[in-house]
Each structure stands twice: as structure tokens, then as C-alpha cells.
Structure 1
Amino acid sequence: MKRIFTVITLIVFGVFNFQQTKAQEFENIVTSGTGDANTYLKNYMNPFAASLGNGLANGWYNTAKPHKTLGFDLTLNMNFAIIPDAASQFDFNADTYNNVRLANPNGDSMLPTFTGGATDTRLEIFGQREIDGEPYSFEQEIVAPDGFGLSDLPGPLAVPTPTVQLGVGIVKNTDLIIRYTPEINVDGLSFQSFGFGVKHDFKQWIPGMKLLPFDLSGLVGFNKISTNYQIDEAAGQFAEFNASATTIQAIISKKLLFFTPYAGVGVNIVKSNFAMKGDYVFNENTNEEVTVSNPIDIDFDGSGGPRFTVGARLKILWVLALNVDYTIQKYNTLSVGLGLNIR
């Protein structure tokens, strides 16, 4: 069958060549049951999904002041939602599995995520199958899948999340913000993204605040990416990864000649899903074939929450601006942007 872990890394991590032994370890977990496979892979892949989702929620603003009507900015941002060191491992909880357990129940239950390193912890895969109407029991011992060893690299670890957005001033001190990447197809892999947001100056509606020497706005933004990989189009086998982030912010800023400090406080709602669709055939140690339909369907959540941002924008030419900000949230995020601004 197609190597499941190779497909996962292709879709999610962009890794095209990986060890066959590691792919086989994940295929063995899939044969234990799709429920166990989804539970394990959710723990294994969660740092990636959380970093990408939090990155998508960033880079929406570099000032609280909306444009004048038909004023605009075109900005490229690069967001880095930093994966904490603690995310390099997850605690294997046997109570959440039906057919997978630690070979040594008293041994180390901490296993690597994709950012972690190597492990020698062994897992037992067990259960019952029915072949030609006859039940049989199976049991197999494997070494738990290793991580990529990324946590050993120097410096912070993050999934880079680029965004390109256009903000246009419409009416009543309001900006309409659009993020869009048309569908890109390369060798059966497709990617596209879309997002929109609204930033509105609400200081104008509060009596007496209009005279205060700072800008104050609210922002709501939504961003989604969709990725699809055709494993075997004729057989109806494909994998997809989708992620979305909604952010709600209150923003304050103060323009000081060419320098504008800003801050924001709010909340993120981050969701993502990874799925493999179609029928896949596995060869077990019994030399019997087992067909599994739609083996992977994982929802990632829980990586959003409250956030606080502080940053600054610097005009480097009359219409060009550089901005840098840092957001404290579940996955702290550094954002750097360069934009063309026509106020």
C-alpha cells in the first residue's frame, strides 16, 4: 500500500523522503484499528497543527488606525508560532487506546511527537480479526515511532506561516482586509488559502474619546488554508489537511512621526483537520490482506485562547513600512512584515 507516514509528512511537513522503517511503524498502528491510529497521530502531529493555526491568526494589523476611504496597504507577513520544548513529547495514556499498549507498563510513557528525537520505548499491538469467517488473534511488538529530532536544533522551532493581504479603507473609518492565494498544483499536491477581516475605529463612537491622542480599533479576522494530495487518483485515494484561525482583537496605537508602536489584546479560535480518504490494503504477518477505509480523520483543537500582542511599525520610505510584533499566547508568535501603504 502507499506508505501512510510518507503521505503524512508530504502533506503536513513537506518531507518527500523518509525512512521505510518509520513508515512501517505507523502502518502497524493503523492495523490495530483506526481509532487507535487517529489517537496516536493526533498526539504526534499536534505541535505542527497548533503552530500553523496560531501563525494563521497573526499579522492582521500594524496599526489601530484604519485607512481613509480607498486608501490601502499590501503587506507580506511571515509568522512564526514557536513550538514549546514541552511539545516534543506526549504522555502515552493506555486508557485512550483499545489495541495498543506499552510493552513495559512500568516503563517510560513519554513518547516523541514529530519535533522529538529517537526512542527505544516498545509498543504492543494486539487484537482480533476475522478471515473467511474464522476469528484469529494477533499480537505484535514494535518500537514507537521516532520524531524528526527538530527539538535538538539550535534556536526556537516554529512552522513558518506566510500571509499576503490587502487592506482597503471603505467607510466610517473601516478597513476591509483580504487574504488570498489562488490554487497551486504541483505533482498531485494542491494548496490554496483565503481569509478576510474587518478593522473598525470604535473610538469615534465613544463620547469624549475622539480627542484623545491615540487610535483605538476592533478587528475580526478569519483565515483558512486547504491542502490536498492525490495518493492514487484512479483508486480514489487522497489526503487533505485543512486549518482555520479566527481572531478577535482590540488594538491601540500611537503614531510618532515615522514610528508607530501598537498593542492588541483578544482571543484566537484555531481548528485544523488531517484526513486520508479511500481504501488501503495492508499485509499483516499472517500474510493475509486487510482493507481499511478512510483510515485517518483527525480534528485538532485546543490550541487557541487569549492573546496579547505588542509591536511597532517603522516607515522606511514614504510608502514602505516594516513591522515587527510578538504575541503572547499558547504558542507565542513572532511576526515580521513589509508593506506598501497608501493612506
Structure 2
Amino acid sequence: MKNLLFAMMMLCVFTMQAQSNANDLFAAGVEDAETFMNDYLAPVSEGAIYSISGSWFNTGDAKPLGGFEISIIGNITGFKNKEDKKTFVLNTADYQNLQFVDGSPSKTVSSALGDIEGVRVFVEAEIAPGITSREEFDLPSGLASENINFIPSGYLQGSVGLIKGTELKARFLPKIKTDEVSIGLYGIGIQHEFTKHLPADKILPVAISGVIGYTHINGTYDFTDTNIIAGSDQSIDAKINTWVFQAVVSTKLPIINFYGSLGYMTGKSETAILGTYTVQSGPFQNTYVDPFTLTKDASGVTANIGTKLKLGFFRLHADYTIAEFNNLSLGLSFGFR
């Protein structure tokens, strides 16, 4: 799990979780491997979509022309009590070769977020007249088995006031690259305060805004040198794109303020398994090149509540978002006006 905190999100973590059984899953055939991995990784992909999509604002009061703010934002997206995301039902009727050793036709198994261990399966086929080959292995568990019950994300974010009531925003995580991991993030957003157009704007105790934000993240993990499965140029390339549309209301006080929002989030992840994979055991020995790409769509209503403390040029904010995956966001900012 060494890349968890470094990568700051599960794009690399779900790779680490799947590695120990990669050879076994491909031994079931590429179609069965794709079917399993799609269900196994879907919840962590969905959680990552929610983790990076929000935190575009800490007030409904748009900055005036030339006003700016630069923030360091960290998110923790929890799934500790989300049992429906930590497991899925594996029905052997959906697979060509995979069967449970105990003969069950279906069973609840761990997703990449879960903690179910020791679920044993097998593949079996006749490889020559009168000769049968059988391969048994355990299905992978997930993050909860490592006592990890959250998905982290983090980035820098800046905003600047433009024309009356409009604020332009941008976020980024400078590309981080090592021999194994590469990850980067960018996004752009806009906030417009409707109360700026009211005659009583200067005396109103609240501000009401609309926010639209787009975020993109791209992460790759190269595990060619791990010797998990024979082959070459083995890597996972994951991309996530998200959009949020939110209505924001906040107080307008000198030092401490409160804000909340109601909105809608939509996003998509694409995870490509790249490289050459050679299965050297079991009845379905074969070589696969760039075997498959997994996709996951997520969307839903979000609600948010938070507070912001302003101390001169420095600001602190914290908020909590209720959605399919709840998220706690903390931010430290430096700003002017």
C-alpha cells in the first residue's frame, strides 16, 4: 500500500489491491477477468469521482475585480459504513469459467473497498483427451482489510474576481512522477453571485451564487517490474472527468461565516489495463495484449454545509458534503479582498 498517500487517491490503490491475484484472474480467461474486475473496481472508481469533484467554494460571496484567493485543499471521502459499496454478488452464471470451490452458484464477495477474505474459486477444463487441468485461487479482498476506510484527494486551487459578481477558479495537482507512479490533476470553474445585482447588495446579510466546475485527473501505475504475471509494458492508465453544478448560499460577516449548497454531480472514469500478459498456469494459458478498458459512470445530488474563518490575509475552511459518498473537506487559504 506504499502508493496510497503518495498518489493521494485510489487510482493507484485499487491497482495494488488487484495485483496479488492478477495472474489467477487472467487464468480464468480474459472475459471472466474483465467481468470480475469491472464489478470489483467500480465502487472505488465511483468514490474517486466524488472525492475530486467538489470543494469548489467556501463562500457564496464572489470576489470583486482583482480579488484573489489561493488554497490548499484536502478531501477525505469515507466508505466505512457503506456495506453496499464494499461487496458485490458474484453469480457464476455470468462467467464462462469461474466457479466457487464449495459449489455455490452465487456468493457475496469483496469489492476493492471491502474486507471479505478467503473466498476460493477455481477454473477447470479438459486440455487433452482424458486430461483435465484445474487451477484454484482466492479472490482478492479490498482496502477495508487493510483498515483503510476512506479515499483521499488533494490539490491547489486559485480564484480571482472578474466582472461584477463573477469569479474564475482553477485547480491543479502538479504532475508527480516516479519510476512506477504518475499522477496529475487540473480543473476549471466559475462562480457567479446573483445577489450582486440587487440594489441592497451592500446591506444584505447573505450571498447567493451559482457554481459550475470541471475536474480531470489522470493516473498511471507501471507494475512491469513486480513479476506478478509474465509479460511486458504492464500498466494501468486511469482517467476521471467530473462536472458539478451547485447553488450556494452563505452569510457575509467580517470574520466567521457559514455556507451551504445544493447541487448535482456527474462523472466518468476510464481504467485501461495496458501491456502484454502471459498466463503460464491453468487450463487457459494464453497471451493478452492491452486486454480491456473498464468504465464507470456516477452521478447524483449533493448537499453541503461548511464554515470559514477569516483572519486578515489567511483563511481556514471546513465543510461536509452529503452524497452517494460523503466527503470532508479542509482548506487553508491566502487571499486579498
Match of 1:327, as an amino acid? T
Residue 306 of structure 2 corresponds to 311
1:38-91 CA deviation, whole Å, 9 max, x = no partner?
221222223322222111112110001111111100011111111143022221
CA distance in 2, matches of 1:63, 1:10: 29
The farther-off stretch of 50-59 and 304-313 is: 50-59
Matched, 1:27 2:17: no
Q: What is the identity, as a one-letter code, of the residue corresponding to 1:251?
A: V
Structure 2's unaligned 5+ residue stretches are 1-8, 226-230
Out of 98, 101, 124, the position equivalent to 1:100 is 98
Report the TM-score, using the length of structure 2 for normalisation: 0.84
CA change 1:213–1:40 in 2 (3 A) is same
TM-score by structure 1 length? 0.82
Deviations 1:142-171 (A, max 9, x none): 222233444756xxx211111210101111
Q: 1: distance between equivalents of 2:224 and 2:15?
A: 18
Opposite residue 280 of structure 1, the aligned amino acid is: Y
Q: How many residues align?
A: 321
Structure 1: unaligned runs, 5 residues or longer: 1-8
Question: Closer, same or farther in 2 for the Cα pair 1:165/1:89, shift >3 Å?
Answer: same
Task: Measure, in 1, the Cα distance between the counterparts of 2:199 and 2:293.
Answer: 51
Rounded Cα–Cα distance in structure 2 between residues aligned with 1:128 and 1:200: 66
The answer on whether the counterparts of 1:73 and 1:166 sit within 8 Å (CA) in structure 2 is yes
1:54 to 38, 50, 58: 50
Q: Of residues 23, 33, 38 in structure 1, which corresponds to 2:34?
A: 38
CA distance in 2, matches of 1:290, 1:335: 46
**Structure 1 residue 98, shift from structure 2 partner:** 2.5
The reply to whether residue 227 of structure 1 matches residue 223 of structure 2 is: no
- Partner residue in 2 for 1:216: 208
Cα gap change, 1:160/1:202 in structure 2, threshold over 3 Å: closer, same or farther? same
Whether the 8 Å CA contact 1:108–1:121 is kept in 2: the answer is no
1:14 and 1:35, CA in 2 relative to 1: closer, same or farther beyond 3 A?
closer
CA RMSD of aligned residues (A): 3.1
Distance 1:148 1:263 in 2: 31
Q: 1:319 is aligned with what amino acid? A: F
**What corresponds to 1:241 in structure 2?**
238
CA contact (8 A) 2:14 2:44 kept: no
Q: Percent identity?
A: 24
Q: Distance in 1 between matches of 2:138 and 2:218?
A: 33
Match of residue 327 from structure 1: 321
In structure 2, the residue corresponding to 1:172 is in which secondary structure? coil
Residues 1:122 and 2:120 are matched in the alignment: yes
Closer, same or farther: CA 14–297 of 1 in aligned 2, 3 Å: closer
Residue 275 to residue 188, structure 1, CA distance change in 2 (3 Å): same
Q: Please give the secondary structure, in 2, of the residue aligned with 1:301.
A: strand
* CA contact 1:102–1:123 (8 Å) conserved in 2: yes
One-letter code aligned to 1:330: E
Q: Is the 8 A contact 1:249 1:265 kept in 2?
A: yes
CA contact (8 A) 1:67 1:169 kept: yes
Are 2:60 and 1:68 aligned?
Answer: no
Kindly indicate whether the alpha-carbon contact (under 8 Å) linking 1:177 and 1:196 is maintained by their aligned counterparts in 2: yes
Q: Secondary structure at the match of 2:254?
A: coil
Contact residue 26 and residue 145 of structure 1 kept, 8 A:
no
| Equivalent residue letter for 2:54 | N
